[in-house]
Chain A
Amino acid sequence: MPTDATQPLLSVKDLVVDFKTRAGNARVLDHVSLELSAGKILGIVGESGCGKSMTALSIMGLVPNPPGKITSGSISLDGKELTGLDEETLCDIRGSEIGMIFQEPMTSLNPVFTVGEQIAESVRVHENASAQAAMSRAVEMLKAVDIPEPDIRARAYPHQLSGGMRQRVMIAMALACRPRLLIADEPTTALDATVQAQIFDLLQELQQETGTAIVLITHDMGAIAELADDVAVMYAGRIVEKGPVSDVLSRPCHPYTQGLITCVPHLVPDPPLQREALREIPGMVPALTNLGSGCAFEPRCEKAFAKCKTAKPELIQIADSQLGACWAPGSDNT
């Protein structure tokens, strides 16, 4: 049923990824399921070490192996299964059907090639374009990401550009072959606040122009609120809550989601409570090698009770299209 309009562009089902570490086996992704329709933006939020980037690398087929390994589950793009593909086929998909941008624009560009060359080479590899055609595409892309004097900048080396410019180059590079899916892994974390807003605006603008679907990975609930259609909240390798952004933000069911929202003052709906906002969630993400049998968030949860220590809550339907994994799902109180 390839013509089914409701079929999602990207569908991840029960994905399990394990890492062998010195301290034992770490399950970095534990039955993760996601869907993303064409032209939509899916946000994935969580602190570092929650498995957000691992999800992205799994979709790209870039899980470092060893020590990592996709143990089970499926990832499909437009109905085509991606797990278990050989490296050559994956290379054809990466960069042409799925583009990716990374957290560190300072180090993510190769210092010894011009930015034009780095954008053009992807076009040359995927579309068999001539060097000249590829280069003019590169200049075109630089223009599309609002870089002034694109034909001159194309001949610049990364160290001659600012951080914001470099991230624009990364975006140009990721979109050069017009992929249907763009994965943006914390695209603004390393940038100044004003530049962050510019990059988000650019992403939104490009998304509307091209209709590319985006997986936006961030720890910033504010960015999710602004850009995403759907959101998945991850903790310790599992999805603990997901649903449409408006629902999740207005009625968060998982205490962790509530905690993340509280970190961003203007998202808290109730003005008196805003003063209490900007609280941090106490404690830190647990090591994935020695997770107990209970809920992984239990040690940091204010609402934890006896059952949380002994049994893992499953991801179940909370409302129409909202799912949560908590023994005491609630949204009304804080």
Chain B
Amino acid sequence: MSLTQTIAKRIGWGLLLLIGVLILNFTLISIAPGDIADSIAGDMGGADATVIEEIRERYGLNEPFYVQLWRYVSGVARLDLGFSYFYNTPVTELILEKLPATLLLVFSSQILAIVLGTLLGVLAAKKPNGIVSLLVTFLSLFGFAAPVFWSGILLIIAFVSIFPLFPVGGMTDVTVEGGFFVQLLDLLHHLFLPMITLASIYLALYSRLARASMLEVLGADYIRTARAKGLPQRMVLYKHALKNALGPLVTVAGLQFSAVMSGAVVVETVFSWPGLGTLALQSILARDTPTIMGILFFSSFVVIVVNILTDITLRMIDPRIKAS
């Protein structure tokens, strides 16, 4: 099967998964106690039974489940995720406004974790009993065991009271004025702490994985061949060994992505980063159902896109992978 066919198949499957996500969410909401009408009424400061009934009628909540579901799914197909009663804004608009911040946080921290983690892993594998190996071991234990909000909060405490170098909340500083680069610098300044907090978990994971994977690859016959050819050490390590060791790393990075999105929710909350996570928590606390569903839909969408990209990357790295 050619690459395009495989990708087409993956995209088709991705669309099915997304429909599955929609159905699951809709089902969950409809079997949950209480409904949208109640929460709208709550926002209005309480309402009597006739008003609630009126709201039900207006939003079509009295129609059968499958009619409501169909209306929702076909709406999503037109990129209409419904209307947020809480924010008084269309959900799609609300999400598109917050999505860039989350993507910035998630991708920057993943790139940092993958690049730095791979580098650490390679250096550790070069000397399995050396100091970098020890560092990777400690890092991986710490990264797994430390709750991300805890390390985030410790960073905040450290950077507020000990070294006030970085801002600990928000995404931009409204008092900063200047051209594009000044604004960008301000953004990166704000990004730094949330990014390293989120990256720390995955840095631990990837460095450990890269080390194990490199150690296995370095024992392979073709590495001996590469050395027998007289290739310099760095070429053996960074060309012959690393390209083979990247496979497991890319696979895990792809599988982890939904967990990364979850981690982003917590990190955004800790650092008041105005992304989807913060929006999700606010809308959950407000029982703003359309927004919650829209966020779940969009995050699943991002995860699926990343998974497809992972597949393509894997095939570019390893020619042996056949279409599955």
A109 and B228 contacting across the interface, CB-CB below 8 Å: no
Give the distance in Å from the alpha carbon of A96 to the alpha carbon of B231 in the complex.
10
Interface hit among A19-27, A121-129, A274-282:
A121-129
Q: Which of A102, A112, A173 contacts B319 (CB 8 A)?
A: A112
Partner of A125, one of B221, B222, B232, B320: B232
Question: With the chains together, A110 CA to B231 CA distance in Å?
Answer: 13
Q: In the complex, which residues of chain B have a beta carbon less than 8 angstroms from the beta carbon of A107?
A: 220-222
Q: Is the interface of A mostly helix, strand, loop or mixed?
A: helix
Query: By DSSP majority rule, is chain B's interface helix, strand, loop, or mixed?
Result: helix
Known contacts A108-B222, A109-B222: A62-B244 contact under CB 8 Å: no
Q: Is the CB of A51 closer than 8 A to any CB of chain B? A: no
How many angstroms from the CA of A3 to the CA of B303 in the assembled complex?
A: 70
A112 to chain B: closest residue by CB: B243
Q: Mark interface residues in A274-292 (1 if CB within 8 Å of B CB, else 0).
A: 0000000000000000000
B64 at the interface (CB under 8 A from A): no
Instruction: Type the 1/0 row for A86-123, where 1 means its CB is closer than 8 Å to any CB of B.
Output: 01101111111001101010011111110000000110
Query: Distance in Å from the Cβ of A160 to the closest Cβ of chain B?
Result: 8
B228 — which chain A residues lie within 8 A by C-beta? 60, 62, 94-95, 99-100, 102, 174
**A214 touches B (CB below 8 Å):** no
Rounded to whole angstroms, the CA-CA distance of A87 and B230 in the bound complex is 10
User: Given the known A-B contacts A102-B224, A107-B222, A125-B235, are A112 and B317 also in contact in the complex, defined by CB atoms under 8 Å?
Assistant: yes
B230 touches A110 (CB 8 A): no
Chain A residue at minimal CB-CB distance from B223: A110
- Count of chain A residues with a beta carbon within 8 Å of a chain B beta carbon: 31
Encoded as 1 (CB less than 8 Å from any B CB) or 0, chain A from 120 to 145 comes to 01100110000000000000000000
B225 to chain A minimum Cβ distance, whole angstroms, is 5
B232, B240, B319, B320: most-surrounded residue (chain A CB, <10 A): B319
Measured between C-beta atoms, what is the minimum distance from B155 to chain A in Å?
A: 39
A159 proximal to B (CB < 8 A) = yes
Question: Hey, which chain A residues are within 8 Å of B318, CB to CB?
Answer: 111-112
Q: Kindly provide the distance from the CB of A147 to the nearest chain B CB, expressed in whole angstroms.
A: 18
Please name all residues of chain A whose beta carbon is closer than 8 Å to the beta carbon of B101 when the two chains form the complex: none
Judge if A170 is at the interface, Cβ distance under 8 Å: yes
Q: Are B231 and A108 in contact (CB under 8 A)?
A: no
Q: Is B227 on the interface with A (CB-CB < 8 A)?
A: yes
Q: A172–B240 Cα gap in the complex (Å)?
A: 19
Which A residues are in CB contact (< 8 Å) with B243? Answer: 110, 112-113
Task: Contact check, B225 vs A102: say whether CB atoms are below 8 A apart.
Answer: yes
The winner among A90, A93, A111, A173 for most chain B CB atoms within 10 A is A111
Complex contacts, A108 vs chain B, CB 8 Å: 221-222, 224-225
Q: Report how far A125 CA is from B232 CA in the complex, Å.
A: 9
User: Which listed residue, B221, B227, B240, B320, touches A94 by the CB 8 Å rule?
Assistant: B227
Contact A122 B224, beta carbon cutoff 8 Å: no
Cβ B230 vs Cβ A125 within 8 A = yes
Once A102-B221, A104-B221, A110-B240 are accepted as A-B contacts, the answer to whether A125 and B319 lie under 8 Å apart by CB is no
Q: List residues of chain A with CB within 8 A of the CB of B229.
A: 94-95, 121-122, 125, 173
Contact (A157, B222) CB under 8 Å given A88-B232, A95-B229, A125-B235:
no
Please report the C-alpha to C-alpha distance between residue A73 and residue B220 in the assembled complex, in whole angstroms: 29
Q: Is the CB of B230 within 8 A of A112?
A: no
Tell me if A159 and B320 are in contact (CB < 8 A): yes
Partner of A122, one of B230, B244, B319: B230
The answer to whether the Cβ of B233 comes within 8 Å of any Cβ in the partner chain is yes
Knowing that A95-B229, A110-B226, A125-B232 touch, tell me 8 more A-B residue pairs with CB under 8 angstroms.
A93-B230, A110-B244, A112-B244, A112-B319, A125-B229, A125-B231, A157-B319, A159-B320
What are 19 A-B residue pairs whose CB atoms fall within 8 Å in the complex? A60-B228, A62-B227, A62-B228, A87-B233, A91-B232, A91-B233, A104-B221, A108-B222, A108-B224, A110-B226, A112-B244, A121-B229, A122-B230, A125-B230, A125-B231, A157-B319, A157-B320, A159-B319, A159-B320
Q: Top 8 closest A-B pairs, CB basis?
A: A95-B230, A94-B230, A95-B229, A107-B221, A110-B222, A100-B228, A122-B229, A108-B221
